[in-house]
Amino acid sequence: MLIYCPTILIQKPLATIKIMKKNTLALLILFSINFLNAQEHKEYFDNGQLKEIGKYEGDNKTGEWKYYYENGQLEEIENFSNGKKIGEKKYYYENGQLCDDGKYEEGKKTGEWNYYHRNGQLQHFSKYSTGKKTGEWKYYYENGQLEEIKKYSNGEKIGEWKAYHENGKLGLIATYVNGKIRGEMRRYYENGQLKSIVNFDKNEKQTGDWKNYYDDGQLSAIGTLLGEISEYYNNGQLKLTGKLNKNGIQTGEWKQYYSNGQLSAIEKYEDGASVGTWKIYDENGVEKNTIVFKDGIQQE
């Protein structure tokens, strides 16, 4: 049994057809004007090699732009609309290896951006939201070993940050709150030994005691918020004691010691300038010399 589906033809009124023709013509004229307004731009190196090529609409860059090295190798590709960067952007090393790639929206970085070492290894991975840093960023050494982990929110540093030595050992760990370092920051040697401990308050100012260590774990120096400093030899023997003012400048009496524990010198400072009588001792503790200073100048 055959079933016929009749086709119903509806004829458009003549007035409608005339309006459509007028609209189409107007669009063609507008397109032609825009096309003519988009002026091609070319720039060359002194050797005649093309340096850049793109188009302008008025004073604004538009469409795809390409940039080249003097050897003819492509350097960069980017896109514009009304003078603002849009879409994909790529940058290359002179050897043709991709250096970085990412995207723009309305002139601002957006989404994932990747950066590469000259050997092709990923150098760092990043994220943007309307031009602001966001999420977890990771950095890598040329051998592919993880170098750093950073975190951002709305362009501000947040959370735990870590840095690693090229051998994979942890090199630094710190915490950021609202873009500022907060609490304890620890640094480590390549052998994994603790190198230093420093603390920061909510205003990113150093607070409390700080400590430095030798790479064998032995304490090398200790300081306080009030500026009192003690340094030690690798054998644990006291090396010097002194004080810094609020600007980190030497002040007051400082004492230095030989590695056998004997006093080697007594010094005095005012705002970093040497003052008063300094006493110098030999390794047996016998005074061997005195020096007089005034306003940082040694007196005869």
CATH number 3.30.460 is the correct assignment for the domain at 134-217: no
Task: Output the pTM of the full model.
Answer: 0.78
Residues in the chain with pLDDT < 70?
1-37
Domain ranges for the chain: 40-107, 134-217, 226-299
Question: For residue 95, which phi and psi values (nearest 5 degrees)?
Answer: -85, 5
Q: Which of 157, 128, 125 is nearest to 144 (CA)?
A: 125
The predicted structure's pLDDT at residue 246: 85
Q: 73 is written with which tokens?
A: 């190798």
Please, are residues 255 and 242 in contact by the beta-carbon 8 Å criterion?
A: yes
- Rounded to whole angstroms, how far apart are CA atoms 120 and 87? 23
The predicted structure's pLDDT at residue 247: 84
**Residue 26 gets which letter from DSSP?**
H
Half-sphere exposure of 118 (CA within 13 A, CB side): 3
- Rounded to whole angstroms, how far apart are CA atoms 227 and 244? 5
The predicted structure's pLDDT at residue 23: 53
Judged on CB neighbours under 10 Å (0-12, 13-18, 19+), 109 is buried
